[in-house]
Structure formats: structure tokens, C-alpha cells
Chains A and B, each alone.
Chain A
Amino acid sequence: EVQLVESGGGLVQPGGSLRISCAASGFTFSSHGMGWVRQAPGKGLEWVSAISGSGDSTYYADSVKGRFTISRDISKNTLYLQMNSLRAEDTAVYFCAKVMVGVWYFDNWGQGTLVTVSS
């Protein structure tokens, strides 16, 4: 069974940094792209970032480009999102999601971790 468990969310001040993680199990981690999708309170889904199975290719939404960095540790089956220069508008639940083989759709999701940016 595929499992994705996010951690590392919390309260951070504007301009601060935070790294969130996603522990993956139940599938061959290196064979699948992975992504982060966020949802601000009461709002819709916003794609944030994605990374290929090998980690060679990364993609970012314009809203986070230059501030966020996605990475993966295949030895630990873990996905990361390093978030710097955080803003109030980054406040959201961040979902980790597994990409279907060969196509950029998300077929398994974690339960999310809440990131709150506030002073």
C-alpha cells in the first residue's frame, strides 16, 4: 500500500525558512516523479513544485520560483521542500503527491502538513 506522510509544518515568521518532508513507502520511490500541491485555508488547489524520479529535473510555480527548492533522497525514500523568504500568502496545507508513471498526474496523496506564516 502506498503511504505518504508529511512532516515539518508549523508556524514561521515572514521572511523565515522551513523545510517540510514527505516519507514515502509502498512503491519504488526512484521510479516515480513526486510533487507538492498546496491549499490555502478555504481555497482551491495550487501546484507548487515537482521533481522527476531521478531527481534530475525540477519544476516550480512562478509564485515560489527562486524561494523554494524541491529535492529527494532516494536512500531515505523521502521528498523535501525547502521554503525560504516565506510570505503570508504561503500559508497553506502542503500535500505531497506521487506522480503516475510517465504522466504528470497525482495518483496518491499524503494528508498534508500545515504551514502558517505569521508574525
Chain B
Amino acid sequence: EIVLTQSPATLSLSPGERATLSCRASQSVGRYLAWYQQKPGQAPRLLIYDASNRATDIPARFSGSGSGTDFTLTISSLEPEDFAVYYCQQRSNWPITFGQGTRLEI
């Protein structure tokens, strides 16, 4: 199975700053990678799919990049509501796998 490793485990930033989150795959997944946001007590929300496509109603401050084994989620200027846990997910091979998550905290 493809293992996704996210870094850092925790990222401490302030509103207005730029956030850069990483996801590395144990083998190439092409561009078949998505990013989700999860807030406490809530279901995950799809942010980015196929590495760089924003999902419906996702603000432009969220962007994704990368291909092969290295991917990045960038939040250009943090809003208070962006502090949450972020997960990557690959669909290149079965089984579908998720990364372990990056906690973005104030």
C-alpha cells in the first residue's frame, strides 16, 4: 500500500501568515492526491483534488501543488477559521490511503 507521510506534525502560525504543509508518498501517485480539512467535532471537508484543483466553494487562499511523490498545500494568508487538522489522500492505487495529518494551530 502507498504510505503518505505528512510534515510537520504540528504547525504553529498566526493569522495573516502563510502556511505550507507537505505530503510525501512512498511511491509515485501521479497527480492523484487530495487535501481535506477537519475541525474538531466535524466531518472532513474536501479542499483540493488531483493535486491542484480547488473543490467547490473553497476560497482562493488555498492552493495545492506537486506531482509524483511530493505535494504541498499552501494557505496564502491564514484566517482564524483555517486552524484545523489537514489530511492528504491518494487515489492512485487501492487501497485508498490517508496521511496521518498536520495540525495547524495558532
Contacts and interface: CB of A to CB of B under 8 A. Distances in A.
B55 to A, nearest CB: 6
State which size class the interface on B falls in.
Answer: 20 to 34
Chain A interface mostly: strand
Interface in B70-106: 85, 87, 89, 91, 94-101
Contact of B89 (A105, A110, A112): A105
Interface stretch (A24-32, A43-51, A66-74, A82-90): A43-51
Interface string B25-63: 000000010101010001111100110000110000000
Contacts, number: 60
B95 A44 contact: no
A46 B94 CA distance: 13
Nearest to B97: A47
Interface residues of A, number: 22
A61 B94 CA distance: 9
Contact of A62 (B36, B87, B95): B95
A6 to B, nearest CB: 10
Contacts of B89: 45, 47, 105-106
Contact of B98 (A44, A103, A109, A111): A44
The secondary structure that dominates the B interface is loop
B96 to A, nearest CB: 4
Interface in A27-69: 35, 37, 44-47, 50, 59-62
Given A37-B98, A107-B55, A111-B43, 20 more contacts: A37-B44, A44-B87, A44-B98, A44-B99, A44-B101, A45-B44, A45-B87, A45-B89, A59-B96, A60-B95, A95-B43, A103-B49, A104-B91, A105-B46, A105-B49, A105-B89, A107-B49, A107-B56, A109-B44, A111-B42
17 contacts: A44-B85, A44-B99, A45-B38, A45-B87, A45-B89, A45-B101, A50-B96, A59-B94, A95-B44, A104-B96, A105-B89, A105-B91, A106-B36, A107-B46, A109-B45, A110-B43, A111-B43
